[in-house]
Structure 1
């Protein structure tokens, strides 16, 4: 198979789609700075003052609900988009997501009481999940195998840009003398990114794999020819090979499985394995406390003795560092691999049970990113326990440093990888449903943590961190045992990892085999002839 890197067409598509990634990141993250604005509490009839015990308890409950309802909306949005983007295509689904996002952002900015704000968060959660599901699917379906990790990884990197924008907009707005502007302006910007996306959607091509699934092979070929056009490949060999592989694989999958219902995803063993792996990866990514720290970063820093203004500045710096980590994660994914970016070899002497030792060391896996997160959570919990209510500036500064250490491992090894991996493991005819399910699990996993985090930190303090020490320690071994590598394979060839038939093997053919197959493909026009 001719090696194809990315073209300017790939880059333009990725950057346009990543406006959806920014939308999700901004939607989710803006609440972190909003709940750090005293004027928001006043507008919503809430308080951050613990001396007013009854109102303070009620306020914590409402904030937990606000966090939780975003995730609840996201669960429904992820499942909905799994159906709608198969039925109507990737482009139309992006338009629907943008429209819903604009409505949710406008309602949130115009909220006059906390109930209206909660409903608006549910709506923006619904649309945010549509974006966070659609964007990696779309990019994966137009990216060459050799650079798919880098290109799909931009989704994770760009929604961190949404986090960064939300953080610094929140910091800037904090200093405004206009009490309503303090919090209404930042949340109103939620409508900007989907509006910008609407301007670019017209120029985006539809996914060629979706077009093949609808029998529109001629249009799929034209798109692939443009996507992989280069001076080094004047005969469009790479595009021809990929088109041949896509159409052949879809014909095989259609003959083997026909129409696949949602229940079939759990009934048929090859699909069930993928669904369970997607569930495990997304659950593990959230059960290490990342979502709680993301959402409560301002409050956590304030709890370490810093002022509101300094807490906002430190949280903005923390999220900026996370963004850098996500871009770094995307850069090495195609070299290091999906699982190895989560994992590294286990020392032989650390494993006591022979069977487990054999499996783990033969795969060479243990989760490095999540393990690193656990280490920093342990230290953070110890600092909060011993110095949380003290005036020991060195210890409190160390507490903030541990939060930065945590995000170094999470952003640098985990946050981008999970979206790339889950967008790859499902074949074309179930990719949208499988990715929708995985993201629904992602948001369902966040729900108990977000609902309980504010009250948990307020009532049991440092002990709440124990959740994020015990759970990821278990997940480390599950990920190492069950997750196969997908690096370097085309989307169609990943079928073989799950014991499904691969119609055409291109990536690992030798030179003679490539020449023979290339000659076969070039004998006739590829447009619509290999259905």
Structure 2
């Protein structure tokens, strides 16, 4: 239970977070985050870029008998189908056993799937391996723009290097390398600390306080560490009386305005992230280039590799912007750019406001007991829309060519209008304070204190992941 008054603004931090590398605890925490949850994003970027690049390989095309149309779409959509199968188990494992077990099991499936994919003897075996990769990715459920783009770069340049090999190793080597990040995750999953919210939620209050002190305050039991712990305790204690499980929170969402708005935002973001013209660049760049007369495998792979560098530079440049200019502002600016650029650079501009913003925003707008449900619903929505566009893009490019891109222009305008009128800004608020934006005095934190209208003396560091 809280041991101090948490009304008003939080205390000033004793650590200089702008120079986090000077503090051992923050260095360790960031390294562990990179080696565990963020490598999932690297694997996702690697997968999309690799599949798109391998379509330029003559050996890949010959071995799998030049797949096209629905067959090509099915191979591309295999990870999505695997994610559908995983859906019933994701919430239970993450909420009951914690994120570390979820990451470990998901990474194990990714490693096994990568091995099957690399050793595939036919289309079915190749699709099975990709399906297991998608099954594993569903359990990890982390997205971060810079690491996704970095994975895409590595895959694109690996394929560019191996495409010179005059054997099936040209596509088997990149497929096997996809297992490496997953093996690293399995090795470090239980070294990474558990979330203090998860620890408190499971009744391990002392461990939750110790985690905050060790990693957020560099071992100092200062006023800010106590304030963070008390804020978490007030919110989670109030949430204990709320519905648990998968369906109870959803039924509750239909009764309360705040939950209905959350669910609408979650599903709208799932649609926007997959239906804004970016899918055909990730998975169908090779067919797109062939439609423009660029048919050489070296030409196609070098174009993909260099475009991935552009995406990574964009992701790095805009990684810090969600906390500085706001989530809503980035969503709006990204959609505005997409309206202007519905062509080969679409994926790069989508990185700007969406890939660096999605999981942070979705995690922080949901209260703790509803967070796993929200992320799972978002992932399911993404998978459904992505599956639709996997097939629609294949047929659209075949029948309409470049005109297929124009379909997205009016749709992106609709996305922009909805974001402008519906999405709230959450910049500078803690997770507990964000609940009051949606629920007002009905928020769990409001039972312990009223959040002041004035801006805090310093902005909270984003804590959606921990």
**Shorter-chain TM-score: what band?**
0.7 to 0.9
Displacement of 1:192 after TM fit? 0.6
3-state DSSP of counterpart to 1:460: helix
Indicate the larger mover: 2-11 or 436-445: 2-11
Distance in 2 between residues matched to 1:507 and 1:292, nearest whole Å: 44
Distance in 2 between residues matched to 1:26 and 1:79, nearest whole Å: 26
Alignment of 1:234-253 (within 5 A): 234-253=220-239
Which structure's residues are more often helix, by fraction? 1
Correspondence 1:222 to 2:210: yes
Correspondence 1:278 to 2:278: no
Indicate the larger mover: 58-67 or 278-287: 58-67
5+ long unaligned stretches in structure 1? 48-57, 137-154, 343-366, 381-402, 515-531
Displacement of 1:489 after TM fit? 0.8
Alignment-derived partner of residue 3 in structure 2: none
* CA displacement, residues 257-302 of structure 1 (integer Å, 9 cap, x when unaligned): 1424325324342323211111101211211111221111233223
Alignment-derived partner of residue 15 in structure 1: 34
Distance in 1 between residues matched to 2:96 and 2:203, nearest whole Å: 13
* CA displacement, residues 386-437 of structure 1 (integer Å, 9 cap, x when unaligned): xxxxxxxxxxxxxxxxx23x23421222221122211211111111111111
3-state DSSP of counterpart to 1:176: coil
Q: Number of paired residues?
A: 429
Match of 1:487 among 427, 434, 437: 427
Distance in 1 between residues matched to 2:419 and 2:80, nearest whole Å: 24
Correspondence 1:457 to 2:466: no
Indicate the larger mover: 453-462 or 88-97: 453-462
3-state DSSP of counterpart to 1:485: coil
* CA displacement, residues 224-246 of structure 1 (integer Å, 9 cap, x when unaligned): 11111249xx4422111011010
Distance in 2 between residues matched to 1:469 and 1:78, nearest whole Å: 32
Correspondence 1:77 to 2:86: yes
Alignment-derived partner of residue 433 in structure 1: 373
Distance in 2 between residues matched to 1:314 and 1:451, nearest whole Å: 24
Alignment-derived partner of residue 249 in structure 2: 264
Contact 2:291 2:401 in 1 (8 A): no
Structure (1 or 2) with the larger CA radius of gyration: 1
Contact 1:77 1:128 in 2 (8 A): no
Alignment-derived partner of residue 24 in structure 1: 44
Alignment-derived partner of residue 140 in structure 1: none
Distance in 2 between residues matched to 1:305 and 1:3, nearest whole Å: 60
Alignment-derived partner of residue 320 in structure 1: 309
Distance in 2 between residues matched to 1:263 and 1:76, nearest whole Å: 22
Alignment-derived partner of residue 50 in structure 1: none
Contact 1:334 1:488 in 2 (8 A): yes
Displacement of 1:452 after TM fit? 2.3
Contact 1:70 1:123 in 2 (8 A): yes
TM-score after normalising by structure 2: 0.87
Distance in 2 between residues matched to 1:480 and 1:193, nearest whole Å: 38
Displacement of 1:83 after TM fit? 2.4
5+ long unaligned stretches in structure 2? 1-9, 21-25, 458-466
Alignment-derived partner of residue 293 in structure 1: 281
Indicate the larger mover: 487-496 or 457-466: 457-466
Distance in 2 between residues matched to 1:156 and 1:480, nearest whole Å: 22
RMSD: 2.2
Contact 1:34 1:170 in 2 (8 A): yes
Correspondence 1:191 to 2:179: yes
Alignment-derived partner of residue 103 in structure 2: 94
Alignment-derived partner of residue 340 in structure 1: 329
Match of 2:160 among 164, 168, 171: 171
Displacement of 1:454 after TM fit? 2.1
Alignment of 1:42-191 (within 5 A): 42-44=62-64, 46-47=65-66, 59-77=68-86, 80-131=89-140, 133=141, 135=142, 155-177=144-166, 179-191=167-179
Displacement of 1:174 after TM fit? 0.6
Contact 2:243 2:249 in 1 (8 A): no
Q: Structure 2 vs 1, CA of residues 408 and 33 (structure 1 numbering), >3 Å: closer, same or farther?
A: closer
Alignment-derived partner of residue 524 in structure 1: none
TM-score after normalising by structure 1: 0.76
Contact 1:79 1:440 in 2 (8 A): no
Alignment-derived partner of residue 397 in structure 1: none
